[in-house]
Protein backbone atom coordinates (compact mmCIF):
# COMPACT_ATOMS: atom_id res chain seq x y z
CA UNK A 1 0.00 0.00 0.00
CA UNK A 2 2.88 2.35 0.76
CA UNK A 3 4.47 1.65 -2.62
CA UNK A 4 1.08 2.04 -4.31
CA UNK A 5 0.51 5.41 -2.65
CA UNK A 6 4.01 6.55 -3.64
CA UNK A 7 3.44 5.42 -7.21
CA UNK A 8 0.13 7.27 -7.42
CA UNK A 9 1.76 10.34 -5.87
CA UNK A 10 4.58 10.43 -8.45
CA UNK A 11 2.15 9.77 -11.28
CA UNK A 12 -0.03 12.64 -10.07
CA UNK A 13 3.04 14.88 -9.87
CA UNK A 14 3.89 14.06 -13.48
CA UNK A 15 0.35 14.79 -14.64
CA UNK A 16 0.38 18.08 -12.73
CA UNK A 17 3.61 19.01 -14.53
CA UNK A 18 1.96 18.42 -17.90
CA UNK A 19 -0.15 21.53 -17.24
CA UNK A 20 2.76 23.70 -16.02
CA UNK A 21 5.50 25.55 -17.86
CA UNK A 22 9.03 26.29 -16.77
CA UNK A 23 8.94 29.71 -18.42
CA UNK A 24 7.97 32.48 -16.04
CA UNK A 25 6.18 35.65 -17.06
CA UNK A 26 8.97 38.16 -16.47
CA UNK A 27 11.64 36.54 -18.68
CA UNK A 28 10.88 39.27 -21.23
CA UNK A 29 11.84 41.91 -18.66
CA UNK A 30 15.37 40.51 -18.21
CA UNK A 31 18.22 42.42 -19.85
CA UNK A 32 21.69 41.17 -20.63
CA UNK A 33 22.53 43.17 -23.73
CA UNK A 34 20.75 45.15 -26.44
CA UNK A 35 19.01 42.06 -27.83
CA UNK A 36 16.13 41.79 -25.37
CA UNK A 37 13.84 38.80 -25.02
CA UNK A 38 10.83 39.77 -27.12
CA UNK A 39 9.36 36.37 -27.99
CA UNK A 40 7.15 34.22 -25.78
CA UNK A 41 7.62 30.48 -25.68
CA UNK A 42 4.77 30.04 -28.14
CA UNK A 43 6.22 32.62 -30.54
CA UNK A 44 9.65 30.98 -30.27
CA UNK A 45 8.16 27.62 -31.23
CA UNK A 46 6.14 29.20 -34.04
CA UNK A 47 9.13 30.96 -35.64
CA UNK A 48 11.71 28.22 -35.17
CA UNK A 49 10.74 25.83 -38.01
CA UNK A 50 12.22 26.28 -41.43
CA UNK A 51 9.97 28.08 -43.90
CA UNK A 52 9.07 26.45 -47.23
CA UNK A 53 11.84 27.16 -49.74
CA UNK A 54 14.03 28.94 -47.19
CA UNK A 55 17.71 28.64 -48.09
CA UNK A 56 20.18 27.22 -45.58
CA UNK A 57 22.03 30.51 -45.26
CA UNK A 58 18.84 32.53 -44.70
CA UNK A 59 17.57 30.03 -42.13
CA UNK A 60 20.86 30.04 -40.18
CA UNK A 61 20.82 33.84 -39.94
CA UNK A 62 17.11 34.10 -39.13
CA UNK A 63 17.08 31.29 -36.57
CA UNK A 64 20.08 32.76 -34.75
CA UNK A 65 18.08 35.93 -34.20
CA UNK A 66 14.93 34.01 -33.22
CA UNK A 67 16.74 32.03 -30.51
CA UNK A 68 18.38 35.23 -29.25
CA UNK A 69 15.04 37.01 -28.94
CA UNK A 70 13.38 33.99 -27.33
CA UNK A 71 15.92 33.20 -24.58
CA UNK A 72 17.57 35.29 -21.86
CA UNK A 73 21.15 35.02 -20.66
CA UNK A 74 20.86 34.28 -16.96
CA UNK A 75 22.79 31.97 -14.64
CA UNK A 76 22.36 33.68 -11.28
CA UNK A 77 21.46 32.40 -7.84
CA UNK A 78 17.67 32.53 -8.19
CA UNK A 79 17.70 28.89 -9.19
CA UNK A 80 14.08 28.17 -8.31
CA UNK A 81 12.52 31.41 -9.54
CA UNK A 82 13.89 30.90 -13.06
CA UNK A 83 13.88 27.09 -12.82
CA UNK A 84 17.61 26.65 -13.25
CA UNK A 85 16.97 23.83 -10.80
CA UNK A 86 14.55 21.57 -12.68
CA UNK A 87 11.20 21.81 -10.82
CA UNK A 88 10.01 18.71 -9.01
CA UNK A 89 6.81 18.69 -11.10
CA UNK A 90 8.85 18.80 -14.32
CA UNK A 91 11.13 15.89 -13.47
CA UNK A 92 11.46 14.75 -9.87
CA UNK A 93 14.57 12.70 -10.69
CA UNK A 94 16.50 15.73 -11.97
CA UNK A 95 15.13 17.77 -9.06
CA UNK A 96 16.43 15.36 -6.41
CA UNK A 97 19.69 15.18 -8.35
CA UNK A 98 20.28 18.81 -7.37
CA UNK A 99 20.72 17.70 -3.74
CA UNK A 100 22.90 14.69 -4.58
CA UNK A 101 25.10 16.39 -7.23
CA UNK A 102 24.55 20.15 -6.84
CA UNK A 103 27.60 20.85 -9.02
CA UNK A 104 25.64 19.50 -12.00
CA UNK A 105 21.94 19.66 -11.21
CA UNK A 106 21.47 22.75 -9.04
CA UNK A 107 21.94 24.90 -12.13
CA UNK A 108 21.07 22.55 -14.90
CA UNK A 109 21.72 22.86 -18.64
CA UNK A 110 19.25 20.88 -20.71
CA UNK A 111 20.36 18.48 -23.40
CA UNK A 112 16.91 18.69 -25.00
CA UNK A 113 16.39 21.84 -27.05
CA UNK A 114 12.62 21.84 -26.47
CA UNK A 115 13.04 21.92 -22.68
CA UNK A 116 15.67 24.66 -22.88
CA UNK A 117 13.37 26.78 -25.07
CA UNK A 118 10.49 26.25 -22.68
CA UNK A 119 12.51 27.48 -19.70
CA UNK A 120 13.80 30.42 -21.72
CA UNK A 121 16.93 31.21 -19.67
CA UNK A 122 20.47 29.89 -19.64
CA UNK A 123 24.07 30.53 -20.47
CA UNK A 124 25.42 31.16 -23.95
CA UNK A 125 26.08 27.42 -24.16
CA UNK A 126 22.41 26.62 -23.49
CA UNK A 127 21.32 28.88 -26.32
CA UNK A 128 23.99 27.36 -28.58
CA UNK A 129 22.68 23.87 -27.76
CA UNK A 130 19.19 25.00 -28.79
CA UNK A 131 20.36 26.57 -32.05
CA UNK A 132 22.52 23.58 -33.00
CA UNK A 133 19.67 21.18 -32.24
CA UNK A 134 17.15 23.11 -34.34
CA UNK A 135 19.56 23.42 -37.27
CA UNK A 136 20.32 19.69 -37.18
CA UNK A 137 16.59 18.99 -37.10
CA UNK A 138 16.30 20.98 -40.34
CA UNK A 139 19.07 18.92 -41.99
CA UNK A 140 21.85 21.49 -41.59
CA UNK A 141 25.24 20.43 -40.28
CA UNK A 142 25.82 22.17 -36.95
CA UNK A 143 27.96 21.77 -33.84
CA UNK A 144 29.30 23.80 -30.97
CA UNK A 145 32.34 26.08 -31.14
CA UNK A 146 33.95 26.83 -27.80
CA UNK A 147 35.76 30.15 -27.58
CA UNK A 148 37.60 31.62 -24.60
CA UNK A 149 34.74 31.89 -22.09
CA UNK A 150 31.98 31.76 -24.69
CA UNK A 151 30.14 29.11 -26.75
CA UNK A 152 28.66 29.65 -30.21
CA UNK A 153 27.48 27.44 -33.08
CA UNK A 154 29.39 26.30 -36.15
CA UNK A 155 26.92 25.75 -39.01
CA UNK A 156 27.59 24.73 -42.61
CA UNK A 157 25.10 25.26 -45.42
CA UNK A 158 24.75 22.91 -48.37
CA UNK A 159 27.13 24.96 -50.50
CA UNK A 160 29.85 24.40 -47.89
CA UNK A 161 29.81 27.92 -46.52
CA UNK A 162 30.51 28.05 -42.80
CA UNK A 163 28.80 30.40 -40.34
CA UNK A 164 29.81 31.23 -36.80
CA UNK A 165 26.39 31.83 -35.20
CA UNK A 166 26.12 33.46 -31.77
CA UNK A 167 22.51 33.09 -30.52
CA UNK A 168 23.39 34.89 -27.29
CA UNK A 169 23.65 38.12 -29.29
CA UNK A 170 21.72 37.18 -32.43
CA UNK A 171 24.79 37.40 -34.67
CA UNK A 172 25.66 35.07 -37.59
CA UNK A 173 29.08 35.62 -39.21
CA UNK A 174 29.61 34.04 -42.67
CA UNK A 175 33.19 32.92 -42.08
CA UNK A 176 34.97 29.86 -40.66
CA UNK A 177 36.71 30.16 -37.31
CA UNK A 178 40.14 29.88 -38.96
CA UNK A 179 39.51 33.05 -40.98
CA UNK A 180 38.23 34.91 -37.92
CA UNK A 181 41.26 33.86 -35.88
CA UNK A 182 43.50 35.57 -38.47
CA UNK A 183 41.49 38.81 -38.23
CA UNK A 184 39.28 38.92 -35.14
CA UNK A 185 38.30 42.53 -35.89
CA UNK A 186 36.09 41.28 -38.73
CA UNK A 187 33.41 40.21 -36.22
CA UNK A 188 33.11 43.67 -34.64
CA UNK A 189 30.71 45.18 -37.27
CA UNK A 190 28.31 42.24 -36.91
CA UNK A 191 28.03 42.74 -33.15
CA UNK A 192 27.77 46.51 -33.51
CA UNK A 193 24.84 46.09 -35.92
CA UNK A 194 23.20 43.90 -33.28
CA UNK A 195 23.31 46.85 -30.87
CA UNK A 196 26.38 45.84 -28.88
CA UNK A 197 28.37 48.76 -27.45
CA UNK A 198 31.81 49.38 -28.95
CA UNK A 199 33.76 48.40 -25.83
CA UNK A 200 31.76 45.17 -25.54
CA UNK A 201 32.21 44.42 -29.26
CA UNK A 202 35.97 44.81 -28.80
CA UNK A 203 35.90 42.39 -25.87
CA UNK A 204 33.92 39.84 -27.87
CA UNK A 205 36.26 40.16 -30.86
CA UNK A 206 39.20 39.37 -28.58
CA UNK A 207 37.74 36.04 -27.45
CA UNK A 208 37.63 34.83 -31.07
CA UNK A 209 41.41 34.54 -30.93
CA UNK A 210 43.00 31.13 -31.36
CA UNK A 211 43.54 30.45 -27.67
CA UNK A 212 40.78 28.28 -26.20
CA UNK A 213 38.99 27.58 -29.50
CA UNK A 214 37.65 24.05 -29.79
CA UNK A 215 35.06 22.33 -31.96
CA UNK A 216 32.69 19.83 -30.37
CA UNK A 217 29.34 18.16 -30.83
CA UNK A 218 26.50 18.60 -28.35
CA UNK A 219 27.06 15.12 -26.83
CA UNK A 220 30.77 15.94 -26.41
CA UNK A 221 29.90 19.12 -24.49
CA UNK A 222 28.21 17.11 -21.74
CA UNK A 223 29.82 14.43 -19.58
CA UNK A 224 28.48 11.11 -20.99
CA UNK A 225 26.64 10.23 -17.77
CA UNK A 226 24.83 13.60 -17.77
CA UNK A 227 23.93 13.42 -21.46
CA UNK A 228 22.31 10.01 -21.16
CA UNK A 229 20.95 10.60 -17.64
CA UNK A 230 18.59 13.30 -18.88
CA UNK A 231 17.22 11.07 -21.62
CA UNK A 232 16.74 8.26 -19.10
CA UNK A 233 15.17 10.58 -16.49
CA UNK A 234 12.32 11.57 -18.80
CA UNK A 235 11.49 7.91 -19.43
CA UNK A 236 11.96 6.79 -15.85
CA UNK A 237 9.79 9.52 -14.36
CA UNK A 238 6.79 7.71 -15.91
CA UNK A 239 8.09 4.17 -15.60
CA UNK A 240 9.02 4.34 -11.91
CA UNK A 241 5.46 5.06 -10.63
CA UNK A 242 4.18 2.08 -12.59
CA UNK A 243 6.91 -0.17 -11.17
CA UNK A 244 6.00 0.95 -7.65
CA UNK A 245 2.40 -0.15 -8.25
CA UNK A 246 3.33 -3.65 -9.43
CA UNK A 247 3.82 -5.24 -5.95
CA UNK A 248 0.28 -4.22 -4.93
CA UNK A 249 -1.20 -5.54 -8.19
CA UNK A 250 0.71 -8.82 -7.87
CA UNK A 251 -0.41 -9.18 -4.26
CA UNK A 252 -3.99 -8.36 -5.21
CA UNK A 253 -3.92 -10.97 -7.98
CA UNK A 254 -2.44 -13.57 -5.61
CA UNK A 255 -5.07 -12.92 -2.92
CA UNK A 256 -7.88 -13.04 -5.47
CA UNK A 257 -6.60 -16.32 -6.83
CA UNK A 258 -6.22 -17.73 -3.26
CA UNK A 259 -9.86 -16.94 -2.46
CA UNK A 260 -10.97 -18.73 -5.61
Residue 211's pLDDT band (cuts 50, 70, 90): confident
Closest CA to 35 of 201, 124, 168: 168
pLDDT beyond 60 at 35: no
Rounded Cα–Cα distance for residues 60 and 45 (Å): 16
Distance CA 226, CA 257 (A): 45
Q: What is the pLDDT of residues 138-176, one digit of tens each?
A: 999 999 999 999 999 999 999 999 999 999 999 999 999
CB atoms inside a 10 Å sphere around CB 30: 17
Whether 85 has a pLDDT exceeding 90, the answer reads yes
Q: In angstroms, rounded to a whole number, what is the distance separating the alpha carbons of residues 79 and 16?
A: 21
CB 177 within 8 A of CB 187: no
> Does the pLDDT value for residue 212 go beyond 60?
yes
pLDDT at residue 26 greater than cutoff 80: no
Q: Which residue has the higher pLDDT, 255 or 14?
A: 14
pLDDT of residue 249: 82
Work out the pLDDT band at 30, boundaries 50, 70, 90. low
**Averaged over 123-145, what is the pLDDT?**
96
Q: What is the separation, in whole angstroms, between the first and last Cα of the chain?
A: 22
In this structure, what DSSP letter does residue 169 have? T
Amino acid sequence: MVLLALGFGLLGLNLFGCFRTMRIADVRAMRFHAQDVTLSHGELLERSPRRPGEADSAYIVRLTGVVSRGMAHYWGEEVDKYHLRVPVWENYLLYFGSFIRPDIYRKYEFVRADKAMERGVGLCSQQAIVLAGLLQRAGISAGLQALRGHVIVRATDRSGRVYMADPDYGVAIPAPIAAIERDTAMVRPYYRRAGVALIEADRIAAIYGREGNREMTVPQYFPPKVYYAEKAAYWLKWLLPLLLMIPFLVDLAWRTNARR
